[in-house]
Structure 1
Amino acid sequence: MHPSVRVKPESEFANGSIPQQKLLSLLRLIRLLKEPGGRTMAQLLSELDKKQRTMQRYLKLLEEVGYPVDKTTTQPARYFLFEPAPEGRGIRHEPLNDQETELLNLRLADLGTPNPVLVSLRQKLQLPALLLPQPHELRSLRQARILETLALGIELRRRVRLLAYESGNTGTVRDRELEPLALANNYTQLASNDVATGQYRTYNLSRMGGAELLDAACTLPDSDRRPDVFGMAETDQWTTIELLLTSRSYQQLLRESAAAAVECQPAMTTEQAEGWTHRYRGRVHGFHGVGRFVLGLPLEVRVAAPESLRQFVLDKVAGAKW
């Protein structure tokens, strides 16, 4: 028997409950330490429901079995797993916090149609390599793989097959073969040509069950049409609109599309006195998308122009059945 190995009494291993719970806690601790930003000691104690003395023992145990635990110099200190360089030389780096990650995501979204390198960067920011992904993370992991496949199809000009795509209009679920053109609106939509009909179509990533890269090259004519910031691409025509936004609706607009930031300007002094913080001026394909945005935040958005958009919204309100 190795001198460093301590054999516990059989009673301590009764039904395997104690070692199993301890192993589960250690695995959960590793997962938390690998997430962006790490965790403070208070967060670790709360999320794992442990006392500080036990947590310190767990952290020391991880180091003993080869997991280098480090912590930030900020207060309160945040604990994370130290990642060595490929050559074996350690590079000390503190993990990105939530604000830094969000800013980098916005800047990456401004770069337009992604290539595989941009996709990889976004995955590293949003989906770190975690041990034992939790159920709520599986959907994000699946969408990341779908996004990577679509981006590769765009880059290589090859067809893709969407697996088990759920139609928002009919609710039917079936596979669809298409030629991808571009990803839009914070990578939530795909602009494409449908192979079966030869027509331009947009698809939401949230409704895709999966994606396969095909060997067939894209042959249909490319289209310059792309979804507007409200997710619509009804026609080839563009209409310029102007909206007054409160702080809340401004933040909601940026969540829907980071590209909208460059089309927003601070509201004029007289408008700010009425509670408006920003004025958005952009182009849309029809009024259905922007109309949905306005009606969804009725006290947070005012239509400044054109009059036809204001009338479109008023007609929708008049026809509502409450």
Structure 2
Amino acid sequence: MAQAGKVEQQKILRVFKLINLLQGNIGKPVHRLAELLETDERTIYRYFKLLEALGFEVIKEFSKYKLKEPAGQDATLHYGSFSPEESQWLKSLIESQGKKNLLKDSVLQKLQLKSELKQGTAELFKANLGRLVDEIGKAIQDRKQIWLREYYSLSSDTTSDRLVEPVAFSSNYESIHALEVESKAMKIFKIERIGEVLITNDSWKFSAKHELPEESLFGFTGKKQFKVRLKM
């Protein structure tokens, strides 16, 4: 019984981790999801069906999968979940149908599961990003090198560990400006693509190269100049 409970717990944790991996604008291929969750591709497709049954919408773009954010809808309606007020109203309406009603009990369970799951996974995703920001911020303050574990590169569609010297956050805290130790070059790393942050005991070694890019009025970074023609 204890072993069965442990296996079931691992499945639940995998589903929550899958939801986190599918969050954000960058999708991931099935084989990579299987690697990160230490399972096989057939299991990932089964999890997709489970998520869809719970009200999530898994979409495929350029051979990568992610969760769809419905355009033009209120955030409380995402993935078939409801606001607390809507959930309470629906619950009271369904409960008024009588006690001996199996359909009523089934709907109530799904209603509670969808609302709590959406809220829980969203908060879990935000909390994880916040934790990464806190750790990177501490490394910047202490002038320490850090490892960006399992950093996902969009251009090469691969993940790798990067040893960097973090210098500063972007204005919206969605990315960091850091010197990559291997290339000795300043680069921009998206926080949502970082798997884990590991602060080392090594202090910065290349402070002289910590040059932040200039940002133009149009959001371009770097020192290269562009000519812009405005048609009024």
User: What TM bracket, shorter-length normalisation?
Assistant: 0.3 to 0.5
> TM-score under structure 1 normalisation?
0.34
Give the TM-score normalised by structure 2: 0.46
Larger radius of gyration: 1
